[in-house]
């Protein structure tokens, strides 16, 4: 089954971008390539912190996350080589479009006093969004969590400039903050 947002992209957004930006063919039109969800883990608090965080991220995304481990020891941070320091999931294809649609239509509007997401890109058409509290996702039950965690969500596009990336994401429905 083709996601609603993917169908909207191919039938509406691609022709509009070809007309507005003067692309020669539909392969030049920027596309959302992948979404990466990342969360840091403080394993010094609890031995099962990485597993609990992985379970929460799996509930949010529907995919089993990868637990990232430290590559080197840093004494000032009480960090040893091989300790779990984060959890990440990369979404592509239909799951990516389902997650994006859920984020834009359900999760972000549910934030109290929401005025839009910041308008800052990385210089290559990619966008990073930080969420401080993961309980805004409907899949998370507040009774089952011990502590709140933050999420870093990265939207990777094939856009060459920030302007193209911003136009693509805004046409897909990303609610950017008005200046």
144 or 5, which is more confident? 5
Average per-residue pLDDT for the chain: 88
Closest CA relative to residue 172, chosen from 59, 5, 60, 22: 5
Q: Distance between CA atoms of 149 and 86, rounded to whole angstroms?
A: 11
Q: What is the value of pTM for the model shown? A: 0.89
**What share of the chain in percent tops pLDDT 70?**
97
CATH tag, 30-172: 3.30.1440.10
pLDDT for res 45: 64
C-alpha neighbours within 13 Å on the C-beta side of residue 149 = 26
Over residues 76-87, mean pLDDT: 80
Please give the DSSP secondary-structure letter assigned to residue 117. Answer: B
Query: Residue 1 — pLDDT band, cuts 50, 70, 90?
Result: confident
Res 179: pLDDT: 67
User: What's the mean pLDDT in 59-88?
Assistant: 85
- Measured CA to CA, the distance from residue 32 to residue 96 in angstroms comes to 9
Length of the chain: 179
Give the domain ranges of the chain.
Answer: 30-172
CB 110: neighbour CB atoms within 10 A?
A: 11
Worst-scoring range by mean pLDDT, 38-52, 113-127, 164-178?
A: 38-52
pLDDT at residue 48 is higher than 90: no
Question: What whole-number distance in Å separates Cα of residue 131 and Cα of residue 65?
Answer: 18
Residue 44: per-residue pLDDT: 62
Structure tokens at 42: 């403080």
Per residue in 125-177, pLDDT tens?
Answer: 899 999 888 888 888 877 777 777 889 999 999 999 999 999 999 999 999 98
């Amino acid at each position: 089954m083709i996601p609603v947002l993917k169908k909207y992209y191919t039938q509406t957004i691609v022709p509009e971008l070809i007309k507005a930006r003067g692309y020669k063919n539909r392969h030049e039109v920027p596309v959302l390539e992948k979404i990466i969800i990342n969360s840091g883990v403080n394993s010094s608090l609890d031995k099962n912190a990485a597993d609990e965080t992985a379970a929460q991220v799996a509930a949010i995304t529907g995919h089993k996350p990868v637990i990232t481990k430290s590559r080197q020891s840093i004494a000032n941070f009480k960090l040893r080589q091989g300790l779990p320091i984060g959890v990440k999931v990369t979404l592509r294809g239909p799951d990516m479009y389902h997650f994006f649609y859920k984020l834009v239509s359900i999760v972000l509007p549910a934030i109290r006093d929401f005025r839009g997401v910041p308008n800052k890109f990385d210089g290559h058409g990619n966008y990073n969004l930080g969420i401080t509290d993961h309980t805004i996702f409907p899949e998370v039950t507040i009774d089952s969590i011990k502590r709140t965690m933050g999420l870093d969500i990265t939207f990777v596009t094939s856009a060459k400039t920030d302007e193209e990336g911003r136009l693509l994401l805004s046409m897909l429905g990303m609610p950017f903050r008005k200046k």
